[in-house]
Structure formats: structure tokens, C-alpha cells
Structure 1
Amino acid sequence: MPETSDAGRPALVALHHTQLAMPRGGEDAARAFYADALGMLELEKPAVLAARGGCWFRGGGVELHLGVEDPFAPARKAHPGVLVDDVAAVAAALEQAGHAVVWDDAFPGFRRCYAADPFGNRLEFLEPEGD
């Protein structure tokens, strides 16, 4: 039975995944970024969905789905905010793989940086300060 909120409505439990768009044929670039640079595991998509293209990744409790979108337009402002245990190590891994990282200190209580995936989608990586 779902947990209910104080208002008697079903409560939100957790975020299952975030979907980002990618252009058709971008699966290899997605794998190089999400699996190779970030160390996420590629998930096997159900057959009925695999025919649509795209790829799914999971790592550390974070699940990202990349779906083919025609016409494609990257999310340059909207983004997932991913909590990490070592934001400097994530930034270093991305930079070593050839991806630019932009640091931002405007969120009190967190060290954070932004990077774009190979398709231009914005990603935010955050680490609580003091951890």
C-alpha cells in the first residue's frame, strides 16, 4: 500500500529515473560518456522499448534513460542534479575523457559542477560540503 501524505493523497516515494533526449544513432557516444567516463552500468532495455533506440544506465542508485528524440534538441538548462561522494573525482574523470567541466559555488552547502553529455544535455554533480 502506498504511503499517504498529510493531505490524504498518495505520497511520492522516490525518483525511479530521469530521461534525457539523444539524437538517433548516438548510442555509442552515450556509452562512452555514461558507462566509460562516469562508470555507470548499461541496462538491457525491454525488447519492446529497445526497438526505439536509446540506452539506459544505472550507477549508485541513479538511473538515467536516454531516448531518441526527432527532432533532437539538448536540454541546456533543465538538468538532473546527481549527488556524488567525490565531486572532484567525477570532474577529473570527465575532464580526462575530454569533457569540459564548469564549477559553480552559488549553491550554499554543496560543491558542484556542471558538464554536458556528448549531445549537449546539461548535468549537475553535487557533493554536500563537509562530507
Structure 2
Amino acid sequence: MLIAVDHVQLAAPPGSEDTLRAYYVDVLGMTETPKPPELAARGGCWFEAGYVRLHLGLEEDFRPAKKAHPGLRVTGIEAYAARLAAQGAPVTWDDTLPGYRRFYSEDPVGNRLEFLETVTASGPGG
């Protein structure tokens, strides 16, 4: 029986770890999690914030995920979008999903990310 998603893995080009760290830690506010030594030798980075865990693995023939993406729940979505935009990250709002306020962005290597917050009669987040 499935009980949870442990993590989502995205790909990145070799040598992009410092750029990824700057984005996922400084822009998104995540914490880098050390990889086990056996896996650290492969390169890449792991990040987490609360129950969200993202792994960025290196791929020689890297192509960014433009359609496939993680959907990341946030609180205070307006402020979060402003934070990303202030750091130079693209923010594209999408109002086509009933019950949610959401936007799309991209990490520095071009992977698509979705950020969403539930909306109730009292406004975003409930």
C-alpha cells in the first residue's frame, strides 16, 4: 500500500550544483540535506523544507522538464511569488484550477515548478 511520496527527483546538468544551491536554498528557502557518501560521489544535491524533499541528480544529456513538474504547496502565495520574482525567477500565474491560487516558475536549469495554495470562501489558505 502506498502511503506517501518520499521525494521527487529532477535532473540537472553536470557542474550545476552551486547554481542549484543558490536557488533552492536562497530563493525557495529550502535546506540542503547531505547525501550519503556512496551517492554524493555521483554529484547533485538534495533539498528539503518541511515534508517537501527534492533531489537534483546530474544527467550528462540533460534536458529540463518543461511539462513534468512537482506541485509544491505553499502558504502566503502572493508573498512567495513576490520573493521569487524579486530574485529574478519567472512567475507565471494560472487561474484554471478551481479551488487553488497557483503559479509556475523554473529553476535556474529550466525545470518547471508549480506552486499552489488552496483557496476557500475566506481567501487563500483558508
Same fold (TM over 0.5): yes
TM-score, L = length of structure 1: 0.90
CA drift of 1:92 comes to 1.1
CA distance in 2 between counterparts of 1:25 and 1:92 reads 29
Aligned-partner residue type, residue 71 of structure 2:
G
Taking only the aligned residue pairs, the percentage that are identical comes to 57
Q: So what's the TM-score if we normalise by structure 2?
A: 0.94
CA deviation vs aligned residue, 1:66-124 (integer Å, no higher than 9, x gap): 00011000000000001111211221111111111000000000000000000100000
Give 1:12's aligned amino acid: L
Give me the whole-angstrom Cα distance separating, in 1, the residues matched to 2:61 and 2:45.
18
- Over the residues paired in the alignment, what is the CA RMSD in angstroms? 0.7
2:118 aligns with: 128
Unpaired segments ≥5 residues, structure 2: 121-125
Could you tell me which runs of 5 or more consecutive residues in structure 1 were left unpaired when the two chains were aligned.
1-10
- Residue 60 (structure 1) shift: 2.1
Give the 4+ runs in structure 1 shifted more than 2 A. none
Distance 2:119 2:3 in 1: 26
Q: Which protein is bigger by CA-based radius of gyration?
A: 1
Determine the C-alpha separation between the residues in 2 that align with 1:89 and 1:28. 25
